[in-house]
Structure 1
């Protein structure tokens, strides 16, 4: 745990490292990367740190959980270079990304809510009229264009077992019926949410088997929890960065 430091106090690399559970090499690496301000050197070349460096290190470590290593590093580099506006822009971009992730999650939930009633409608559909129109389906090109995807992406999802279009008996072309289209849309949303194909496949299989939202509730709850934790971490990081900015003057 970091101890309280007095203004003007000098710290060795090992003091700064131990106070934050790091190695001395990590502290030196952070300085060389511009995450920490440059340290003063003794006549023998030994580094000497101050409470300002400790505040910079606390800010960086607090930024990491909410923004990730690349953005946290870029923010500290910008601040230490006197480019505060650039640092604020980077933080804004992280908040925009978090908002986008929340919107993606909401879209996934909306898509899932429609699975059960749509599946039931498909099973009970008539042999002519709207049911027959759905049964005829759509081909891979128009579907890919509608979703802003490449046909190769849909073929890759098929190979991964995520979608299972039937083949037209005359042409051999892939035909996506309404249930297939729902699966494609769901995969698309989950991919946007950062899920890997190997994690999506069992989710899709469970949804097909259960015909509803229930199999994904635990995953969605975990997703909500991770986004909430990230949002809170951003608040903690903002407070630590503000403390560093005040200390820097």
Structure 2
């Protein structure tokens, strides 16, 4: 049995955070003593540790999706959702590599879908070229990241090849969770034909993705142990404390 303060101290969080996790339904309900104080079991400890480890690599949004599934013994549904997020990370890595190739070598034809040779492209053509939705391009325009020309006759957007180049960089930096101001700064440097800063930040995004995939692996080790405990109906967390889930940095 554990007191809330014992769990909180080990995880480096507040006891109120533990209560939030319980209220969100991502850990089993805790029993209470006669005085109303919560008492956590080995199973709760496994959930809490898994939540913290998974949050670091996958984010709380995913954690809140999969933890109720695990409690319901829908283990495979939870694992497939995690696999989907990992696949998205791999796609982000490929996009970042594509953007870097464009910035360093200006080889846009090699990293986007085939584009006909012409002076300008519609929003549909530009979106298809970078693998984004039309609404995404409109959102970036609203945020002041890109400003395509407009056809004076019908008001339709007209994207140049340089605009498509910018769109690829925007997509990469957005996926690497850079702030809007950072993205604007990089685009401003591109407009000045100073690509050094844009290249530096894009390379940093790849370094960050390499770091993130390792953090995800650590979270998965906790997830594996939690799922094994749930599936086997065990309530012994001692093996986890001495397992591969130790807080060993990569």
TM-score for the superposition, normalised by structure 1:
0.70
The structural deviation recorded for 1:77 is 1.8
Which residue number corresponds to residue 222 of structure 1? 204
Q: CA deviation at 1:233?
A: 0.9
Q: Are 1:204 and 2:187 matched, yes or no? A: yes
Deviations 1:106-165 (A, max 9, x none): 2212322343999xxxxxxxxxxxxxxx8x822646754754664994696499374565
Match of 1:25 among 16, 22, 25: 16
Query: What per-residue deviation string (whole Å, max 9, x for no partner) do you get for residues 4-33 of structure 1?
Result: xxxxxx222222222222222221221222
SS in 1 for 2:59: helix
Q: Name the CA distance, whole Å, in 2 between partners of 1:242 and 1:159.
A: 41
CA offset digits 1:187-208 (Å, max 9, x no partner): 4555566556543333233234
CA RMSD of superposed structures (Å) = 3.7
- Give the greater-gyration-radius structure (CA): 1
CA distance in 2, matches of 1:142, 1:13: 54
Distance (whole Å) between structure 2 residues aligned to residue 142 and residue 43 of structure 1:
64
In structure 2, how many angstroms separate the alpha carbons of the residues matched to 1:56 and 1:246? 12
Q: Give distance in 1, aligned partners of 2:95 and 2:148.
A: 24
Aligned residue among 227, 231, 241 for 1:245: 227
Structure 1 contact 104–193 (Cα < 8 Å) conserved: no
Cα offset, 1:244, TM superposition: 2.3
Q: Secondary structure at the match of 2:73?
A: coil
Cα distance change of structure 1 residues 176 and 79 upon mapping to structure 2, 3 Å threshold:
closer
Which whole-Å CA distance do the structure 1 matches of 2:16 and 2:154 have between them?
64
Structure 1 distance, partners of 2:139, 2:228, is 54
1:148-227 → structure 2 map (5 Å cutoff): 150=134, 153=137, 157=141, 160=144, 162=146, 165=149, 178-187=161-170, 190-191=173-174, 198-210=181-193, 212=195, 214-227=196-209
Residues 43-80 of structure 1 show CA distances to partners (whole Å, capped at 9, x for unaligned) of 44332112221121111100001110010122222112
Equivalent position SS for 1:138:
coil
Q: CA deviation at 1:41?
A: 2.5
Runs of at least 5 residues in structure 1 that lack an aligned partner in the other structure: 1-9, 119-133
Structure 2 gap ranges (5+): 110-116, 235-250
The number of equivalent residue pairs is: 223
Give the equivalent residue in structure 1 for 2:99: 108
Aligned ranges 1:38-187 → 2 under 5 Å: 38-115=29-106, 137-138=119-120, 140=122, 143-144=125-126, 147=129, 150=134, 153=137, 157=141, 160=144, 162=146, 165=149, 178-187=161-170
Distance 2:133 2:228 in 1: 47
Contact 1:14 1:24 in 2 (8 A): yes
CA–CA separation in structure 2 for the residues paired with 1:206 and 1:70: 34
Q: What TM-score does the superposition give when structure 2 sets the normalisation length?
A: 0.70
Name 1:6's counterpart in structure 2: none
